[in-house]
Amino acid sequence: MGLFDSVVARAILFLLILLLVLPFILSLFVAGIDFQARVRTVFLLQKLYLFTALSTLLLIFLVRPKGFEVKSFGRRSLYFALLYLLFFALAFSTQLDIDRTLAEGVSVVDEGGTYLDLDAGRYIAPYALSDSLPISPHFIEKEGEFFLKEISLDEVPAEAIEVKFLVIWRDVDNRKFDSKVKMLINENEFNITGEYKGIKRGKIEWIAISVPGNAFKQGVNKLSIKLEKAGGEKIGLFAQAAYFNNNSFIFSGGMHKGLGEYHEYIWLLNKPNDSIFSQLFKLGFVFRLLGILFLFLAFFGLGFLKQLLASAKKEMVFSTLFAFAIYWFSIFLRSYWQFFSFIVAKSIYYIYKLLFLNPTLNLQNPALPRLGVSGFVAAIAETCSGVESMGYFLIAYTALIAFNWHRINLKKAALLYVPGLLGIFLVNILRVALIILIGAFYSREFALNAFHTNAGMIMFVIYFIIFWPLAMRCIKKK
């Protein structure tokens, strides 16, 4: 019997391909300043695959005791693998250019944070499994301040082209819009005050301006939005936090600076895509579903699928529903990341107070609390809120329950989700507290880069290594 002639071995290999090999390949084609940034973008595009992996894991270990068998790999497995590669390539051939994706139509979703639903223009893509990118506004409010984005063109457009960007404006007095705003493309000026006036206060809207082709030039083009007359409003331009090329800047407070890693303005030349690209884009979600099906068939075979359909209908329904429940709950937690960020900030603030560290806490922006010690101030954003760690816990704990379901008390195991989630949230508080202390008293660069990037996963692994044996003592059948 070969190494991969068992259902368990095939399942492990299937999950490795789905969750590790596939993202690594995609990361080679995604825009980003380094490998870590590209991998981060790819994992934002994995909703469908994470759900599939979780439901498959549950299904395989539910049917394992029934003696299901798989045949050795053969020519048919190769054909299925080739079909998987084909549909995988088709699905992501339209995913790797963010501007062309935006031109196909996306929707803005508010679920505790603000996101772009990238699959809004695709056929049969349910929102729960759609890919989305976090977005946030950057503001200017004083005369002379401006946003800037550099866009490179291989040639000057022969016709007028639509410049499109996602905006918002705010003020504190509920007044009408009273500022004057201009867009500059190289040396060409366009008054866009009227477009801003047409937007309701606090509402996120697209602005689209038709610009003559001769306003552009071959090579690098500089596009800016400038506040010429300040009327008391904050002028906001949204940036997305995934695809980026370090070509977005802001001039504010007398300083000209980049937006930092993981941010690029949602500001594009809205050229219509060709019909082939548009159809491939619309079918992208269907291609992903077909790709998953053929990858499953490549590892398990058509006979195994027939066995499942004939003998394991209940297990298939249960694994799908349970995986969706866990997946939905993780999405639910994510939608409240601002609440968790507030709890993290307040908790660490009082811990520092007890330690006589004289911390500072700024809650002027309740969606992004800022906490500081000795001049080092950190914003408690989504990545520091603990929702990612809680999501990892849900997946890891559920997977181990699936592995051991026949020798544990499932009711007791379900009850331990609560203390398990609470524990990993406390670990996240410790992680953020350490980041700020390291930044304040040792090295700002080390705190924000090496420690911030790696500490979360390391501390999660340590926590889970301790949690699981303790949990097994409570839930193992006598």
Whether 321 is covered by a domain: the verdict is no
Whether 301 is covered by a domain: the verdict is yes
Higher pLDDT, 381 or 300: 300
**Rounded to the nearest 5°, which phi and psi values hold at 214?**
-75, 0
Q: What tokens does 451 get? A: 């420690």
Are 141 and 233 within 8 A, CB to CB?
yes
Annotate 132-180 with three-state secondary structure: EEEEEEEEECCCCCEEEEEEEECCCCCCCEEEEEEEEEECCCCCCCCCE
Are 114 and 236 in the same domain? yes
Q: What tokens does 304 get? A: 């195994």
Q: Tell me the average pLDDT across 340-352.
A: 92
Percent of the chain with pLDDT over 90: 34
Whether 360 is covered by a domain: the verdict is yes
Whether 325 is covered by a domain: the verdict is no
Which residue, 418, 419, 413, is CA-closest to 401? 413
Are 123 and 229 in the same domain? yes
Are 354 and 448 in the same domain? yes
Q: Tell me the average pLDDT across 356-379.
A: 84
* Residue 1 confidence class, pLDDT cut points 50, 70, 90: very low
Residue 174's pLDDT is 63
Whether 214 is covered by a domain: the verdict is yes
Are 362 and 225 in the same domain? no
Q: How many folded domains does the chain comprise?
A: 3
Residue 45's pLDDT is 81
Are 187 and 260 in the same domain? yes
Query: pLDDT digit string (tens) for 35-45?
Result: 777 777 887 78
Q: What tokens does 97 get? A: 């250019």
Are 148 and 289 in the same domain? no
CATH code for position 238: 2.60.120
* Residue 355 confidence class, pLDDT cut points 50, 70, 90: confident
The parent domain of residue 28 ranges over 7-104+275-312
This prediction has a pTM of 0.78
Say whether pLDDT at 201 is over 50.
yes
Say whether pLDDT at 456 is over 50.
yes
* Residue 266 confidence class, pLDDT cut points 50, 70, 90: very high
Residue 242's pLDDT is 82
Are 301 and 182 in the same domain? no
Are 265 and 292 in the same domain? no
Beta bridge partners of 153: 219
Whether 417 is covered by a domain: the verdict is yes
Whether 328 is covered by a domain: the verdict is no
Are 84 and 113 in the same domain? no
Are 77 and 118 in the same domain? no
Spatial separation of the C-alpha atoms in residues 385 and 244, rounded to whole Å: 23
Say whether pLDDT at 190 is over 60.
yes
Annotate the chain with three-state secondary structure: CCCCCCHHHHHHHHHHHHHHHHHHHHHCCCCCCCHHHHHHHHHCCCHHHHHHHHHHHHHHHHHHHHCCCCCCCCHHHHHHHHHHHHHHHHHHCCCCCHHHHHHCCCEEEECCCEEEECCCCCCCCCHHHCCEEEEEEEEECCCCCEEEEEEEECCCCCCCEEEEEEEEEECCCCCCCCCEEEEEECCEEEECHHHHHCCCCCCCEEEEEEECHHHCCCEEEEEEEEEEECCCCEEEEEEECCCCCCCEEEEECCEEEECCCCCEECEEECCCCCHHHHHHHHCHHHHHHHHHHHHHHHHHHHHHHHHHHHHCHHHHHHHHHHHHHHHHHHHHHHHCHHHHHHHHHHHHHHHHHHCCCCCEEECCCCCCCEEEECCEEEECCHHHCCHHHHHHHHHHHHHHHHHHHHHECHHHHHHCHHHHHHHHHHHHHHHHHHHHHHHHHCCHHHHHHHHHHHHHHHHHHHHHHHHHHHHHHHHECC
